[in-house]
Structure 1
Amino acid sequence: MCQDSRHAAGAGPARRALFVTGTAAALTVGGVTFAGGARAADGAQETRTIRGTLPPGAPDFVYVPVEVPAEVRELRVSYTYGRPPVPAGTPGNALDIGLFDERGTGLGGAGFRGWSGGARSEFFVRADDATPGYLPGPVRPGTWHIALGPYTVAPQGLSYEITVTLTFGAAGRTPRPVYPPERARGRGRAWYRGDCHLHSWYSDGRRIPAEIGAPARAAGLDFVNTSEHNTHAAHAHWADVAGDDLLVLLGEEVTTRNGHVLALGTDPGTFVDWRYRARDHRFGRFARHIRRADGLVVPAHPHATCIGCGWKFGFGEADAVEVWNGPCTPDDEVALAAWDTMLVASVREGRDWLPAVGNSDAHRDPDVVGLPQTVVLADDLTRQAVQEGIRAGRCYVAESKDVGLSFTATGGRGEHAGIGERLRVAPDAPVTVRLEVTGAPHCTVRLVTDQGVLLTDGPLPASGAGTVEWRTTPAYAAYVRAEVRHETTAGTLPGAPTAFTNPIFLGS
């Protein structure tokens, strides 16, 4: 049911239509028409209110058409929805919201003007400004659509009320976006620390970009990646945060109903659509779109337990995977174990392997920016060099700037390989694996191979520094990776991770 309550003269009749797209199911409900036009005085306003109820099992997306006349300066939307009590263990109502302009709602987002999910109860767009998460630009005449995303629907249904207000008058001038530079002052080929999963008030975070830049520097980070949920509106607001000491990459957290994926380091202004499920067979199209924009495809928190967070698309299109997300929880341990299983499969099947990264997913205080952080061996502090280092797996994950690792494998004739590389020696050739650790007091070291954990050593001294050596052959270990863990608190279970490396592969 959808009703149009006319708060001004000239409203047209409500309209209702149903369609199911080739992707996620969608519903178009009755919308509103405004009178306006040339006779509207400068600054005059017209308001319409739309009410409706969505049943359990509603489509993923519901579109409310808004017929916008000419000479509109600003479009403003506010909404509320019912939150009836539900039985324990039953999801209640949660309704996301966004906006598409007269260019339409087609998959790919030509008409995309913004998304706030459930983070805001109102928003506006006009030529010279917009609510964070939305794109400034002219409010042109035509059929616009308010996009509703019923994330979860209670058994009683989801009742909503949307109020649309148009302000008439001459449009302002749309600002020309200024983006961060793609290079910072680096140290040549070196290890650079970064956090590639962060949220500001341009989606559901509570910090402005400047309030992220300061803790990023304090955490010893050399680079960050913007990753707002389903919007690229933040891209033009990070230039002042970047500097010679901090590289800012631009991206998006593509938040689908079947998992989240980081578009890491895309071209400025790149939007990646999220309106599909795994069963729609559309993800490959958008993974390729990310790569065409010179970004990396990185599934985020793949085993997270929140609704819609677990990764269902497979890893065939991924460039890396986020194995550690924020303070370590059981789902991170599951992700680490699942990633190790993928490493074994890559060895068994002779195919490419998938590097692991870690990020904070920080949204607000007390979330810690840079817990954890990915430490990348890159040729310089540039967008391209950092991405190449991640793609090659020349990286490890650490809980803070205090933790440093050096991990190498050498052969009997001086052959040498580091993290993400292959030591090409004969199957029976002797190999010495060496791990040097700093900043990890009382922690335990584990060396993990395709057979499992083959060495446990420690605890490290109070200084946090130590060196572990282990000898093996490629016939015995197809790869070796290192974990550094805190003291255990549960008997034989390992302690929480302090750091872990990507593997070194052994053998030709």
Structure 2
Amino acid sequence: MARRGLLVGTAATALTLGTVSFADAAPPNGGQDGTDGPDRTRTVRGTLPTGSPDYVYLPVEVPRGVREIAVSYTYGKPPVPAGTQGNALDIGIFDERGTALGGCGFRGWSGGARGGFFIRADEATPGYIAGPVRAGTWNIALGPYTVAPEGLPYEVTITLRFGAAGSTPEPVYPPRRAKGRGRAWYRGDCHLHSVHSDGRRTPAEIAAAARAAGLDFINSSEHNTYSAHGAWDGLWGDDLLVLTGEEITTRNGHVLAVATDPGTFVDWRYRARDNRFGHYAKAVRRAGGLVVPAHPHATCIGCHWKFGFGEADAVEVWNGAYSPEDEIALAEWDNSLVAAVRWAKPWVAAMGNSDAHREPDVVGLPQTVVLAEELSREAVVAGIRAGHSYIAESSAVTLSFGVLGGRGLHAGIGERLRVDGDDTPVTVRLEVAGVPGCTAHFVTDQGTLFTAGLPESGTGAVQWRTTPAYAAYVRAEVRHPATVPGLPGALAALTNPVFLEG
């Protein structure tokens, strides 16, 4: 079956192809007699031109009596000249409730991670949502991520299997709290991928790796799907809190929805020019979550963050093994602290996460260490939002950082120290362990104003005196020795700031 019709309807970033009909394919009694009818298959072929919309929808008329829909696809990958992007085509699906932005029709997304999927009432391919295959117009969503100069030839095969639908099990979601240690510093990794998107680890393997890394909490953050939210049954415990979220993967950057209500879907089908991100950022917060731009200076296509930080609750300044991209993100975040001081506006906290997908990616490199009242979803979210946290390369790294004023005044990470006057001396103190061969740096709105080598054992304390007039804020960095001329050494740890006020 050739592609029917060139264009049925258009929108700013979408195109709809001709409908694939199965109206004449249903077995006798519409498949309602409890016996399986024969499979029905249709194949659609076409070519998407250079400059195609971000999303191309292939409508499929699904008759009554279908117990399973299965989709597979392939596309051409011709060689391209150096410096030219080749073909990359993502895929997902929406059910009969439609494709409206933020609507309830979403049934799954795998991006380019797999060549096919199925959905039925009792089970679905990871990345997809199990549930009944109801009659109506479903839409296969194709995402031409990049298109070669000669176009993107594709072939989509849809198979309907008839018979009794079966029942959909009620999902079992993680609890909102774990036993914990009361008010304490808790370690977490909020950017992880499993087989439910483009990762290779199962949820069980991620949970095991998290425990091995000394983590207290993790966040499920699959690309553009919430299918993993119900995949953690039996994997949490008194020692591990599992949060649910999503990595919202747009064409203009990626953003983590951290600790949203289980089952929350956040749409991703917009660019910065569409002026829709604010709406979905508010939706994340309404679902109890945090909005955290991820790897904002990553160089992969579509990864560079272009929505600004006005809606951010925190920003991921350290993603995986430390790199020059992180150094740029760190500098941009530090500039935002200066702007917050200048305009007396709220500031945005820094986070670090592993973005681990598969071996040899290390779960917990880095990890965000949060001061929380308890090991619960609400307390962890509150600690991250307030900036009561630091980032460490592993659980071997621990630190304490704060500023002392006169008369017993003290402020810790993410807090403000108010003293009598701008010229009142204050003492900045860092205690750190687990960082052999590293150097401590105190960074202010002027830049790095104090540096001290740490003992070879990796355990030590350093302090420095300043005033609010000299430093509007101060934060600590612990760095390894430099290995690349002209670049600072990789981070071993990083704190959020303490603000100073006279």
TM-score scaled by length of structure 2: 0.97
User: Which residue of structure 1 lines up, in the alignment, with residue 312 of structure 2?
Assistant: 318
User: Which residue of structure 2 lines up, in the alignment, with residue 26 of structure 1?
Assistant: 14
Q: Answer yes or no: is 1:429 the counterpart of 2:424.
A: yes
Taking the aligned partners of 1:90 and 1:326, their CA distance within structure 2 comes to 28
Q: Answer yes or no: is 1:243 the counterpart of 2:237.
A: yes
**Pairing partner for 1:252 from 232, 246, 251:** 246
Q: CA deviation at 1:140?
A: 0.5
Counterpart mapping for 1:145-164 below 5 A:
145-164=139-158
The residue type paired with residue 357 of structure 2 is H
Taking the aligned partners of 2:19 and 2:482, their CA distance within structure 1 comes to 59
> What's the secondary structure of 1:17's corresponding residue?
coil
User: Which residue of structure 1 lines up, in the alignment, with residue 2 of structure 2?
Assistant: 3
Question: 1:16 touches 1:31 (CA, 8 Å); kept in 2?
Answer: no
Counterpart mapping for 1:224-243 below 5 A:
224-243=218-237
Q: CA deviation at 1:18?
A: 4.2
Question: 1:449 touches 1:479 (CA, 8 Å); kept in 2?
Answer: yes
Taking the aligned partners of 1:38 and 1:220, their CA distance within structure 2 comes to 55
Taking the aligned partners of 2:10 and 2:155, their CA distance within structure 1 comes to 23
Taking the aligned partners of 1:32 and 1:342, their CA distance within structure 2 comes to 51
Q: CA deviation at 1:490?
A: 3.1
The residue type paired with residue 444 of structure 2 is T
> What's the secondary structure of 2:226's corresponding residue?
coil
Question: 1:181 touches 1:239 (CA, 8 Å); kept in 2?
Answer: no
Question: 1:372 touches 1:398 (CA, 8 Å); kept in 2?
Answer: yes
> What's the secondary structure of 2:2's corresponding residue?
strand
Q: What percentage of aligned pairs have identical amino acids?
A: 71
The residue type paired with residue 445 of structure 2 is D
Question: 1:258 touches 1:310 (CA, 8 Å); kept in 2?
Answer: yes
TM-score scaled by length of structure 1: 0.96
Counterpart mapping for 1:308-457 below 5 A:
308-425=302-419, 426-457=421-452
- Offset from partner CA, 1:67-123 (integer Å, 9 cap, x none): 000000100000000000001121110000000000000000310000000001010
> What's the secondary structure of 2:464's corresponding residue?
strand
The residue type paired with residue 30 of structure 1 is G
User: Which residue of structure 2 lines up, in the alignment, with residue 49 of structure 1?
Assistant: 43
- Offset from partner CA, 1:148-194 (integer Å, 9 cap, x none): 00000011100000000000011010010000111111111110000
Q: CA deviation at 1:461?
A: 2.1
User: Which residue of structure 2 lines up, in the alignment, with residue 187 of structure 1?
Assistant: 181
Q: Answer yes or no: is 1:36 the counterpart of 2:25.
A: yes
Taking the aligned partners of 1:43 and 1:446, their CA distance within structure 2 comes to 70
Question: 2:10 touches 2:16 (CA, 8 Å); kept in 1?
Answer: no
Per the alignment, do residues 492 and 55 of structure 1 end up closer, same or farther by CA in structure 2, a change over 3 Å counting? Answer: closer
The residue type paired with residue 78 of structure 2 is P
Report the more deviating stretch, 35-44 or 388-397.
35-44
Q: CA deviation at 1:38?
A: 5.0
- Offset from partner CA, 1:477-501 (integer Å, 9 cap, x none): 0000000000112345321110100
Task: Give the aligned CA root-mean-square deviation in angstroms.
Answer: 1.1
Taking the aligned partners of 2:288 and 2:275, their CA distance within structure 1 comes to 22
Q: CA deviation at 1:16?
A: 4.6
Taking the aligned partners of 1:445 and 1:183, their CA distance within structure 2 comes to 35
User: Which residue of structure 1 lines up, in the alignment, with residue 198 of structure 2?
Assistant: 204
The residue type paired with residue 91 of structure 2 is I
Counterpart mapping for 1:458-497 below 5 A:
458=453, 460-491=454-485, 493-497=487-491
Taking the aligned partners of 1:20 and 1:326, their CA distance within structure 2 comes to 39
Taking the aligned partners of 2:27 and 2:486, their CA distance within structure 1 comes to 76
User: Which residue of structure 2 lines up, in the alignment, with residue 17 of structure 1?
Assistant: 7
Question: 2:27 touches 2:38 (CA, 8 Å); kept in 1?
Answer: no
Q: CA deviation at 1:3?
A: 1.3
The residue type paired with residue 36 of structure 1 is A
The residue type paired with residue 436 of structure 2 is P
> What's the secondary structure of 2:227's corresponding residue?
coil
Question: 2:354 touches 2:364 (CA, 8 Å); kept in 1?
Answer: yes
The residue type paired with residue 440 of structure 1 is V
> What's the secondary structure of 1:307's corresponding residue?
coil
Taking the aligned partners of 2:485 and 2:5, their CA distance within structure 1 comes to 64
Per the alignment, do residues 38 and 493 of structure 1 end up closer, same or farther by CA in structure 2, a change over 3 Å counting? Answer: closer
Question: 1:327 touches 1:372 (CA, 8 Å); kept in 2?
Answer: yes
> What's the secondary structure of 1:288's corresponding residue?
helix
Q: Answer yes or no: is 1:500 the counterpart of 2:494.
A: yes
Taking the aligned partners of 1:179 and 1:298, their CA distance within structure 2 comes to 22
The residue type paired with residue 173 of structure 1 is S
Q: Answer yes or no: is 1:105 the counterpart of 2:99.
A: yes
Unpaired stretches in structure 1, ≥5 consecutive residues: 5-13
Counterpart mapping for 1:34-183 below 5 A:
34=22, 35-39=24-28, 42-183=36-177
Question: 1:283 touches 1:313 (CA, 8 Å); kept in 2?
Answer: yes
Taking the aligned partners of 1:20 and 1:383, their CA distance within structure 2 comes to 41
Question: Runs of 4 or more off by more than 4 Å in structure 1?
Answer: none
Taking the aligned partners of 1:79 and 1:123, their CA distance within structure 2 comes to 9
Taking the aligned partners of 2:123 and 2:197, their CA distance within structure 1 comes to 16
Per the alignment, do residues 491 and 150 of structure 1 end up closer, same or farther by CA in structure 2, a change over 3 Å counting? Answer: closer
> What's the secondary structure of 1:140's corresponding residue?
coil
Question: 1:232 touches 1:269 (CA, 8 Å); kept in 2?
Answer: yes
